[in-house]
Amino acid sequence: MDTDYTVYLAAMNDEQLGLFWIVASERARQWIQGELVRRAVARGEMPVTTAGRDRNERPAIAAA
């Protein structure tokens, strides 16, 4: 993804990224998913994955 967009998206908080997820392109969704997981791990939370997840569903995060 273009650097300008990643800098813009990285400045968003988790809730803003979640809202942007709704209208984001597939490439942007992949970046957002990775960013949300990275932030959750940094907070000590564990990302939860489910098989067969709907591609429009944001990743779930479980508190550690």
Whether the model pTM is above 0.85? no
53 — pLDDT class (breaks 50, 70, 90): low
pLDDT over threshold 50, residue 64: no
* Chain segment 15-46, per-residue pLDDT in tens: 888 888 888 888 888 888 888 889 988 988 87
Q: For the chain, what percent of residues have pLDDT higher than 90?
A: 2
More confident residue, 41 or 62: 41
Tokens 């273009």 map to which residue? Answer: 2
- DSSP letter at 4 equals H
Q: How far is Cα 63 from Cα 2, in angstroms, rounded to an integer?
A: 32
**Amino acid occupying residue 1:** M
Q: How many domains does the chain have?
A: 1
Domain that holds residue 31: 3-62
